Structures are given as structure tokens and as C-alpha cells.
Amino acid sequence: MPELVPQTPIRLLWPTARPDIMKVTHKHWMDAAHTSSNITLTVAVNTPKQKELLPDFDVIVVGDNRKGPVWPTHCLAKQLKAKPKDIVILVSDDFMHHKIGISGCVVSLRTTMVALWLMMGTNRADVLQFQS
């Protein structure tokens, strides 16, 4: 069973085309976090104007010629500098954290890869385990 490790680095990747909504949702996530000292956030937006609305965040501009979250997510993942034991969470503007919050996502991945699948709009969370 995975071991809880409170200081495991958590990398939030956040594609958004709605900076104002992202700021509100981000505050909700951070308020629910046990600690924010081990959490880093990188945001992907479509335009420089959207980036200007997020001066307090690490933001990359990916262009607006590809609509939807797939291209910004690809760009975030491509530039990600994470170690094998880091926790990476892809976040959405529309998704408020589940009751477990970010702290519940922190596990040490020794011999098992774990994916926490949080269902938006339900009270259900699944944990999927894959043998590595």
C-alpha cells in the first residue's frame, strides 16, 4: 500500500481560458490544502492578455489557434520538470477539489503507480493502481 509522505512535491498543471474563474478555483484548492509549501503551480493560457490577468502565477502562453484544453495540457506536460516521486495533478477551472483535498493525493510511489480519479459532480473517488 502506498505510504503517505506529507512533503512530496505536488505539481499542479492548470490549462485555462478563463483566468478570473481559475483564480477563484485556485483559492478554493489552496484553502483546502494542509500546507502549500510543497505545491507548485503552472498555468497555461491562450493569449498574452490572459496572462496579464494572472500576474501572481507562473504562466505560459500557448497561442489561441487551438481551442480546448488538450493543446495547453500538452504544453504544460512538455515543459514539466518533475521527479519520479512527485505528484502531478491536472486541474480544471470547473473542478473543486474532492473532500480529501490535495493532502489526500500525496502518496509515495515505490513499486506501484497510483492514479487518483476524482469524478466531477459526484461524491465518488476511485483509486487505480498499476504495477510498475
The answer to whether 110 and 3 are in contact (CB under 8 A) is: yes
User: Do the domain assignments include residue 5?
Assistant: no
Closest by CA to 19, choosing from 96, 89, 93, is: 93
Determine the structural domain holding residue 62 and report its residue range.
10-107
CA dist 43 and 48 (Å) reads 12
**Residue 75 predicted with pLDDT over 90:** yes
Report pLDDT digits (tens) over 79-99.
988 887 788 888 887 766 654
CA dist 43 and 130 (Å) reads 28
User: Do the domain assignments include residue 131?
Assistant: no
Supply the CATH number for residue 80's domain: 3.90.550.10
Closest by CA to 67, choosing from 88, 45, 93, 86, is: 45
User: Do the domain assignments include residue 14?
Assistant: yes
**Rounded to two decimals, what is the model's pTM?**
0.72
The tally of domains found in the chain comes to 1
CA dist 82 and 79 (Å) reads 9
